[in-house]
Structure 1
Amino acid sequence: MILLTQRLRRDGVQLLVWILATAALCFSATAGVNEAFAAESERRTLLAVALANPTILLFRGLPFGTSEGAFLVFTILPFLVLLGALMASFLAVRHVRAEEESGRADAVSATPAGRRAPFVATVVHGILACVLLGTATAVAFIAAGLEAGGSIALGGALAASAAVFLGVGLVAAQLFRSSRAANSFSVGVILSAFLVAGIGNALGTPSDDLTRMESSGLAWVSPFAWAENVRAFADDAPGPILLAVGVSAALLTVAAALQATRDLGAGVIAPRPGRAAASALLSRPFGLAVRVSAGSLVAWVVGSAVVGALSTSLGDVIDEIATQNPAVTEMLDRLAAQGSMDQGLVVTFFVMVGTLAACFGVQTVQRARQEETHGTAEQTLATPVARVGWLGAFLTTALGGIVVIVAAAMAAASLAVFARGGDPAILGDVVVAGAGQILGAAVFPVLTALVFTLLPRATSTLGWVLVIAAASLALFGTLLGLDEDVVSLSPFAATPVPDADGIAWNGSAWLIVLTVAGVASSLMLMRRREVATGG
């Protein structure tokens, strides 16, 4: 009980802000959707467009009706599950692996609490956070005027899916020796699940009236699809919630078994032994930054390559499935004059690539903070290494990694075009969309560096919040009825994109100015900032 109280006190403000912000988003989204799509005919038209152009479903929810509640779930649920997944997985890693890294877990295990009590306290703490998140969202929807039954079903789906990723985070904390690796693994699982659910929905079977989609079998691999197939405000099916609860219990059991068998401070996966002598690369700050970021860069490159390949290879499959329904064929003919479906698919997928690249950039700059809190930065800066050069090395690695990640996606997209014998003209769209996302993604490590120099303790939280907020604004802002000027505040939405007339440059100028000014400002501030020696 003491350990649980300690965790609740430590995370109180952070979890409260996260949960209340999610609830506020639910309340405001309900008002926004109802205002933008007040008439059922408007909602029916948009659902028909989504089912006729399934690329929309890759980053939206699952259509299953035209009621206000069902339409709201379609527009916002995947993002709510994403927020819950990140909250739960970060909580798990923070209270297990990060505690062992800092040495605090060793001190606690030396008391009568032993090794098992802290793990149990983390599990209870995480489940409480998931339940509170689900409860807060249900209350927000009820307060916004939606029916109680559907609101409770939606809250239950959100809580259960978040609990699944709590289990993912706890298992990752057992597998890897560092919190950095555990968080990277968890985020990779979350993003993969998000993408699999979107593809599974896009490959599903639409109804004849174009108001409902049945997920394909692929979607059922993902907890995101389990939450969506509850179909809150329509079916309120309890089966997917029970499935999520069962998988969560299984993951928690696996994590507990691994916790009981491994050594404290060690991971199930042993780290690769280092060399007896350091290479010349490690004699400079840049080489060190590259070395500690290399493993995660490989993971982000692989993920972005998969997304890039899908951007040019999935169009034919989706088009074939969609045109099997006469109503879909008719709607596609109406949409033909509004732009290329393949072009829209490339732009949408490369927003996800930009998000992945931005995540790597933020993660790399956050390593500077980790080096600082672990005390290794102080040792490095005690040598002739300057503060500006030290932070500049992490920034350079972050920006260079972004270019590599997006380039990998562009290369994979190009290879997919040639492999399927597609139209080479789409390669121009790939280049424009990819180059644009490099500009958008570069903003985030720069902003994170600014936070690091001004508010060091907020580096991790604000870095991830900025990426999540910007990605959600770019992917969901239009459907939530937000003005285009508001959506364009997201760097991911302000990038150059291909259109019917060539290239729409959008806000590329201010992205460049913001990045350059941010780099200069963060390096200048670092010269005058004291180096911290603790968290």
Structure 2
Amino acid sequence: MSRLTTLLGQRLRRDWLQLTLWIGGTMGLALVGVSAVASTYGTEQERAALLATVMANPVILLFRGLPSGPGEQAFIVFLLMPFLVMMAAFMSSFLAVRHTRGDEESGRLELVAATTAGRTVPTIATIVHGVLANLLLGLLVAAAFLTGGSPAEGSWLAGFTAACGGLTYLGVALLAAQLMRTSRGANSLAVWVLVVTYFIAGIGNAVGTPSDDLTHMESSWLTWLSPFGWAENTRAFDENLWWPALLCLGAFAVLAGAALALQAVRDLGASIVPERQGRAAARATLSSPTALVSRLATGSTVGWMAGAFFTGALSTSLGSVVNEIGAENPAVADLLKALSAEADLEQAVVVVFFTMVGLLAACAGVQTVARARQEEAHGTAEPVLATPVQRVRWLADFVVIGFIAIVLTCAAAYLGAWVGAAGRENGADLTSDAFVAAWGQAVAASVFLALTALIFTIAPRWTIPLGWTLVTTAILFGLYGPLLGLPEWVTNLSPFTVAPIPSGSEVDLRGMWWLLLVTGAGAAASLTLMQRRELASAG
């Protein structure tokens, strides 16, 4: 027991700030949601009207939860539950990989395994650590609902559901750490499972069966293939079903057990999925450090481009549908206009969807710069820097390739928008709007690229957590700020919100100049500081 408590204490010391940010942010989202929905959708009639709109356009369910009635608390859960589970899932996934495959890669696990703790106790400590983190998150989410005067049973169920959802993805990441050879591969696998299961639940809800009064949705069988679907079907503050959350606990137990079983049959440093064999001699196209960075970033960039293409196609293909709905329900039109600051509804739809494209582009840029930190921490940067390649040139390559990833992601979205607008009467106007929104969001995404590079030079060990925290906070303020009734000055803190957009037949530059200023200053400062910074090992 002393070995377990010692390792658990070591994990808590390493993670206290990151866990504070994730858990505090999740509780903050619940608190803001509880207060904002009461003021923004104060009457049951307004909430019922919005739910009827959702039933008329089920695609909205790809980005929201499962409608369970127009009651105030049930409506809050409809808006927030997928995102509460998602934040718990991200927190749990990164925690699991960091203390398993990450420690194994850095050599830390080998040192611990040489003691009486062996190889199993550190993994058990990680499991206990993750359980405690999710338990605290669930308690604080429940407290947020109780503080807003919500009924006790629904509040505790909402918190329990968020915690159980996080535990499921803790198990996913533990298993991914056994399957993949690197922490990068384990994190990528865990995140892709998270994203795919999120959309499976959304599609399952979208093809479900609405109730006669258009306030409830009975999800299809597809939803039951996803932990997000299990969490949403608890229907907190409506039916208050506890058993779907127990499916999350059961999945966690199975996945964690499988991870422990696989760890027992593999060698330290090995993986279940064999590492791909490299070529005996590199191609001529890999003769420069820039080409090497490009090769490292290609896989992730293609993934972000695929998501952007799909989002861009939706931005123009759904415009006419939403226009009809907005004519019948002014509240929906007002919400979309608030999210986009646009008077024309179809133009507003393009702007809102391209805000999501900006998020994907920012992720592509941040992930590329974060890869520089991973190369440094894993020791693979040293062989490159031992050649005539200078440190500034090395970092500049990651920044340049990150910017190219941003441009390609936005370009893929524009291509998707062009495909979606094909055959439409106003297709030319929509693709023109999409072009403006695309380069505007590329400017916004570049801010995160530059700031992450600056963090890398100032506080390298915080590159990954702070880089992703900036993106998450900005999208919460920018995309959900108007929905949650946040003040305008708060939503304008997000680069996504003040990026240039189409406005009628013109272009509203909005905050373009300060976005360019921050990007240029951040990139210049990072490259300047890199001249004097020594390599920082993993810590």
Deviation at 1:187, TM superposition (A): 1.9
Q: Of residues 500, 512, 520 in structure 2, which corresponds to 1:516?
A: 520
Q: Of residues 157, 170, 175 in structure 1, which corresponds to 2:179?
A: 175
Where does residue 328 of structure 2 map in the other structure? 331
Q: Which amino acid aligns with 1:241?
A: A
Where does residue 355 of structure 2 map in the other structure? 351
Instruction: Please list the CA deviations of residues 206-243 of structure 1 after superposition, one character each: whole Å capped at 9, or x if unmatched.
Output: 44444333334443333223222211111111232122
**How do 1:218-297 residues align onto structure 2 when only pairs under 5 Å count?**
218-297=222-301
Where does residue 375 of structure 1 map in the other structure? 379
Which deviates more from structure 2 when the two are superposed, residues 244-253 or residues 460-469?
244-253
Deviation at 1:312, TM superposition (A): 4.6
Instruction: Please list the CA deviations of residues 504-524 of structure 1 after superposition, one character each: whole Å capped at 9, or x if unmatched.
Output: 443233222221222112112
Partner Cα separation in structure 1 for residue 61 and residue 345 of structure 2: 13
1:481 aligns with 2:485: yes
**How do 1:109-508 residues align onto structure 2 when only pairs under 5 Å count?**
109-312=113-316, 331=328, 343-418=347-422, 424-425=427-428, 426-498=430-502, 503-508=507-512
Partner Cα separation in structure 2 for residue 335 and residue 8 of structure 1: 45
Match of 2:482, SS state, is coil
Match of 1:275, SS state, is coil
Deviation at 1:313, TM superposition (A): 5.0
Q: Is the 8 A contact 2:201 2:229 kept in 1?
A: yes
Partner Cα separation in structure 1 for residue 498 and residue 461 of structure 2: 29
Call closer, same or farther: CA 1:185–1:497 in 2, change over 3 Å: farther
Q: Is the 8 A contact 1:97 1:178 kept in 2?
A: yes
Q: Which amino acid aligns with 2:215?
A: T
Call closer, same or farther: CA 1:40–1:501 in 2, change over 3 Å: farther
Match of 2:66, SS state, is coil
Where does residue 84 of structure 1 map in the other structure? 88
Partner Cα separation in structure 2 for residue 346 and residue 266 of structure 1: 47
Q: Is the 8 A contact 2:106 2:538 kept in 1?
A: no
Please list every run of 5 or more consecutive structure 1 residues that lacks an aligned counterpart in the other structure.
none
Q: Return the TM-score normalized by structure 1.
A: 0.89
Deviation at 1:466, TM superposition (A): 0.6
Q: Is the 8 A contact 1:48 1:331 kept in 2?
A: no
Instruction: Please list the CA deviations of residues 320-375 of structure 1 after superposition, one character each: whole Å capped at 9, or x if unmatched.
Output: xx99xxxx798359968987765555434333332222112111111222222233
Partner Cα separation in structure 1 for residue 134 and residue 171 of structure 2: 12
Call closer, same or farther: CA 1:329–1:387 in 2, change over 3 Å: closer
Deviation at 1:131, TM superposition (A): 1.8
Deviation at 1:165, TM superposition (A): 1.0
Q: Is the 8 A contact 2:164 2:245 kept in 1?
A: yes
Instruction: Please list the CA deviations of residues 231-290 of structure 1 after superposition, one character each: whole Å capped at 9, or x if unmatched.
Output: 111111123212222222232233233323332212222222222233444443312211
Please list every run of 5 or more consecutive structure 2 residues that lacks an aligned counterpart in the other structure.
338-342
Partner Cα separation in structure 1 for residue 93 and residue 490 of structure 2: 30
Which deviates more from structure 2 when the two are superposed, residues 522-531 or residues 133-142?
522-531
Q: Is the 8 A contact 1:307 1:409 kept in 2?
A: yes
Q: Provide the identity percentage.
A: 51
Which deviates more from structure 2 when the two are superposed, residues 164-173 or residues 273-282?
273-282
Deviation at 1:301, TM superposition (A): 2.8
Q: Which amino acid aligns with 1:424?
A: G
1:27 aligns with 2:31: yes
Q: Which amino acid aligns with 1:214?
A: E
Deviation at 1:154, TM superposition (A): 0.2
Q: Is the 8 A contact 2:49 2:329 kept in 1?
A: no
Match of 2:427, SS state, is coil
Q: Is the 8 A contact 2:22 2:88 kept in 1?
A: no
Partner Cα separation in structure 1 for residue 315 and residue 46 of structure 2: 29
Deviation at 1:393, TM superposition (A): 0.6
Partner Cα separation in structure 1 for residue 399 and residue 101 of structure 2: 26
Call closer, same or farther: CA 1:200–1:133 in 2, change over 3 Å: same
Call closer, same or farther: CA 1:409–1:472 in 2, change over 3 Å: same
Q: Is the 8 A contact 2:7 2:122 kept in 1?
A: yes
Which deviates more from structure 2 when the two are superposed, residues 34-43 or residues 234-243?
34-43
Deviation at 1:49, TM superposition (A): 4.3
Call closer, same or farther: CA 1:308–1:188 in 2, change over 3 Å: farther
Q: Is the 8 A contact 2:100 2:177 kept in 1?
A: yes
Partner Cα separation in structure 1 for residue 491 and residue 180 of structure 2: 38
Call closer, same or farther: CA 1:260–1:304 in 2, change over 3 Å: farther
Partner Cα separation in structure 2 for residue 271 and residue 351 of structure 1: 37
Call closer, same or farther: CA 1:271–1:295 in 2, change over 3 Å: farther
Q: Is the 8 A contact 2:142 2:155 kept in 1?
A: yes
Match of 2:181, SS state, is coil
Deviation at 1:86, TM superposition (A): 0.4
Partner Cα separation in structure 2 for residue 505 and residue 213 of structure 1: 41
Q: Is the 8 A contact 1:197 1:225 kept in 2?
A: yes
Which deviates more from structure 2 when the two are superposed, residues 393-402 or residues 359-368?
359-368
Match of 2:275, SS state, is coil
Call closer, same or farther: CA 1:217–1:178 in 2, change over 3 Å: same
Q: Of residues 9, 13, 17 in structure 2, which corresponds to 1:9?
A: 13
Call closer, same or farther: CA 1:342–1:52 in 2, change over 3 Å: farther
Superposition CA RMSD, Å: 3.0
Partner Cα separation in structure 2 for residue 394 and residue 92 of structure 1: 27
Where does residue 340 of structure 2 map in the other structure? none
Where does residue 96 of structure 1 map in the other structure? 100
Deviation at 1:84, TM superposition (A): 0.5
Deviation at 1:501, TM superposition (A): 5.2
Call closer, same or farther: CA 1:17–1:417 in 2, change over 3 Å: closer
Deviation at 1:160, TM superposition (A): 1.2
Partner Cα separation in structure 2 for residue 465 and residue 165 of structure 1: 19
Match of 1:86, SS state, is helix
1:108 aligns with 2:112: yes
Which deviates more from structure 2 when the two are superposed, residues 108-117 or residues 334-343?
334-343
Q: Which amino acid aligns with 2:268?
A: L
Q: Which amino acid aligns with 1:284?
A: S
Q: Return the TM-score normalized by structure 2.
A: 0.88
Call closer, same or farther: CA 1:244–1:30 in 2, change over 3 Å: same
Q: Which amino acid aligns with 2:108?
A: R
Partner Cα separation in structure 2 for residue 77 and residue 283 of structure 1: 48
